[in-house]
Amino acid sequence: MTKIKIISFFFFILFLNNISFANEPSKLISKIVNEASVILSSSDPVEAKIIRLNNIAETSVDIDGIGMYTLGKYRKNLNEDQIIKYKKLFKSYFLKNFSSRLVDYSDPKINVVSEKKINENYTIVNTVLEETSKNPKIKIDWRIYTKNPERPLIRDLIVEGLSLARTQKEEFKSIIQNNNGDIKYLFKSLEEFIIK
């Protein structure tokens, strides 16, 4: 084997190991948390941090899946154009909400505690956000969608027993119900949040 073939083979093996490392739910969360920590503790401007955090979210979170879940029963009443519009609005809403909450942390310490496979489609990864002088210790469970084992995606965060996806679903349901079931009011609410 020539030197080039040996080096190529070595990098190929390394590449495969990195893929399998990222495909295990608990290791995926560790990787994401470490990447976010590097971004948040950097001296980059806030806008640059937000862009980098959003890049992590877009590759590791099932934003469309969460969006359709949060619509609940109302998703059955949408036509194709409304679904396209909703997905676009929800993605912008989600990314703004996600990054604006995270960017206030300077260097969060999140440790993976355990992992439990629920079924072929879901694994729960249990983590702890370590206590600081300003904040208490917080238990965070990550619901990972593993139907495609080559590309696991985050579907929900359960913070101290409270599902963020379920909370969002209740909020959206309330907006629609308070406006006679008209989805346009939810669209308007999302648009207002995005342009704030």
Tens digits of residue pLDDT in 2-14: 444 444 333 333 3
The pLDDT tens digits of the residues spanning 30-50 come to: 988 888 888 888 888 888 988
Per-residue pLDDT at 1 exceeds 80: no
Give the three-state DSSP class for 46.
helix
Query: Mean pLDDT, to the nearest integer, of 38-65?
Result: 90
At 139 the three-state DSSP class reads strand
Query: Residue 154 in contact with residue 62, Cβ under 8 Å?
Result: yes
CA 66 to chain centre: 9
Cβ 39 vs Cβ 84: under 8 Å: no
What local confidence, expressed as pLDDT, does residue 15 receive?
37
**Mean pLDDT over all residues of the chain?**
84
- How far apart are alpha carbons 155 and 75 in whole angstroms? 17
Residue 16 corresponds to which tokens in the numbers above?
A: 């495969």
DSSP lists the bridge partners of residue 141 as: 126, 158
Q: Is the pLDDT of residue 122 over 70?
A: yes
> What string of DSSP letters covers 160-194?
TTEEHHHHHHHHHHHHHHTTTT-HHHHHHHHHHHH
Burial 81-106, CB ≥16 within 10 A → b, else e: eeeebbeebbbbbbbbebbeebeebe
Q: Starting from the edge strand earliest in sequence, which strands make up the sheet with 122-129, in order?
A: 110-117, 122-129, 138-145, 153-159, 162-163
Which residue in this structure is represented by tokens 């679904």? 83
